[in-house]
Amino acid sequence: KAGVTQTPRYLIKTRGQQVTLSCSPISGHRSVSWYQQTPGQGLQFLFEYFSETQRNKGNFPGRFSGRQFSNSRSEMNVSTLELGDSALYLCASSLIQESYNEQFFGPGTRLTVL
Amino acid sequence: SQQGEEDPQALSIQEGENATMNCSYKTSINNLQWYRQNSGRGLVHLILIRSNEREKHSGRLRVTLDTSKKSSSLLITASRAADTASYFCATDASQAGTALIFGKGTTLSVSS
């Protein structure tokens, strides 16, 4: 069974640009969550999607948005990039929408904002 | 905001020794999970312990949970060089959904 895939793996952007990251969950998984990891703030929850609906959202500005498609694939978008958005963005999928369900993480997309 | 705080922040041991990492959290939880991360890669799920459980084992891993003290510990026995990684505890952030709140992690270095 293929794991969670994230594309692209590395990305370099400049301030003010926007970026779209993609996540393909494990086949059959309907819940997708996104996390941002930085050295200073650690791992922080961005949002969670289940059956194409955003179910939870972390404490991030509106520049961060996401969506989920009918095949459970998810994208997140960051507009008007700032230097502080440089981070590893991790996507996790799980079979059902319950926190006690094991979450499978992808390898991440490393975003560098110059 | 961080829910869990791991202690110590960094740990260096020799192969064959045991490694103990601690995690404290602030609010009541339904369960607590431990994850491993190698060199800034994705997270690997290690073990989940529910709030009504006190101890759980998985191979060389032993996790304890003390809800009265809001703390958990992860013990790795007979450490190997391959155990070198960062270890994070994570707690559920809401009544429903999969959102997790992670601690800042313990960086474990196992030398041969």
pLDDT at residue B36 tops 60: yes
Contacts B52 to A, Cβ<8 Å:
none
Where does the pLDDT of residue B111 fall: very low under 50, low under 70, confident under 90, or very high at 90 and above? very high
Is residue A3 within 8 Å of A103, Cβ to Cβ? no
- pLDDT (tens digit, 9 = 90+) per residue, A43-86? 999 999 999 999 889 999 999 999 999 999 999 999 999 999 99
Contacts of B68 (CB under 8 A, 6+ apart): none
What rounded mean pLDDT belongs to chain B? Answer: 91
Contacts B88 to A, Cβ<8 Å:
43
Interface contact A105-B31, CB threshold 8 A: no
Contacts B43 to A, Cβ<8 Å:
90, 92, 105
Size of interface A-B (CB pairs under 8 A): 82
- pLDDT (tens digit, 9 = 90+) per residue, B59-96? 999 999 999 999 999 999 999 999 999 999 999 866 55
Spatial distance between the Cα atoms of A2 and B89, rounded to a whole number of angstroms: 25
Quote the tokens at residue B18.
């045991």
Q: Which member of A42, A50, A104 has the closest CB to residue B102?
A: A42
The label of the residue with tokens 């101890």 reads: B55
**Phi-psi sector, A16: left (phi>0), alpha (psi -120 to 50), beta:** left
Secondary structure of residue B29 in the 3-state scheme = coil
Spatial distance between the Cα atoms of B58 and B47, rounded to a whole number of angstroms: 7
